[in-house]
Amino acid sequence: MNGDQGIFVPALLGIVEGLTEFLPVSSTAHLLLLGHFLDFNSPGRLFEVLIQLGAILAIVVVYFWRLIAIARDTLARKPGALRFILGVVLAAAPAAIAGVLLHDFIKTVIYESPILICVMLIVGGLILLWVDQLKLEPKYTSIYEYPPLLCLYIGLFQMVALIPGVSRSGATIVGSLLLGTDKRSAAEFSFFVAIPLMAGAFGYDLYKNRELISTELGLAVGVGFAAAFILAFIVVRYALDFISRHGFAPFAYWRIFVGAIGLWGVLLFR
């Protein structure tokens, strides 16, 4: 990490993390590409993972009372709540297992491949645009109606998001829509699945790279964390209404634009 950059670059990366984490545009791709062009390299890519805690906290705050209600209903053994918890676990499990098994390869090889990241942004944008325009008849319009097998299939789609540029929420949403959900509930389900996945990734990376934490990195993470929390809170608060009105096409076009600009920059300055 370049110490001459002060707190400006960590703050900028935190803002980008907060804006993109819960949208189908791949926050990881944005962080890695921006870090690449700004010459920001944290040891073990630890910064990029740790500031996700700010985004996790934001979604917990926004959905706090719903999470409390779900926990209360689960303890009371209400079938709907138990099925929802099981669905979230099934949707998160495939990516969590694959992430642990492929952790070192992902961090040392795929994360260091900006051309692949840009290509996946463009390809993912085209797929999202295609799916958004399909005339699909949804079978499920509430995340509490999702059957366990559907959630598992969504989780298998989400495994592809281990490649930066694909987008965790994007893979979840595309899989959900193709499997019979509506746009709003697909986006909301991706929010809930993000909580255990992001928390697990945070804890695992923190454990794996605990010896790399320094005072300089701690300050940068603190700044990035605060920025990510504020922006993610705003995004989660208003994203569902935006998606209900405009669909996913704006995010698809943004992905294609960022991927194309990034590819041009990488090829020009390599």
Q: State residue 270's pLDDT score.
A: 66
116/127 Cα distance (integer angstroms): 16
173/18 Cα distance (integer angstroms): 19
Q: State residue 44's pLDDT score.
A: 63
C-beta of residue 141 within 8 angstroms of C-beta of residue 181: yes
As a dihedral over the C-alpha atoms of residue 202, residue 116, residue 152, residue 127, rounded to 10 degrees, the angle is: 130
**To the nearest whole percent, how much of the chain has pLDDT over 70?**
94
155/203 Cα distance (integer angstroms): 20
- pLDDT tens-place string over residues 120-144: 999 999 999 999 999 889 999 999 8
Of residues 217 and 189, more confidence is placed in 189
At 215, is the pLDDT very low, low, confident or very high (cuts 50, 70, 90)? low
- pLDDT tens-place string over residues 159-198: 999 998 999 999 999 999 999 999 999 999 999 999 998 8
Q: What are the residue ranges spanned by the domains of the chain?
A: 3-269
The token pair that represents 215 in the structure block: 């005072």
DSSP string, 22-71: TTTT-HHHHHHHHHHHTT---GGGHHHHHTHHHHHHHHHHHTHHHHHHHH
Residue length of the chain: 270
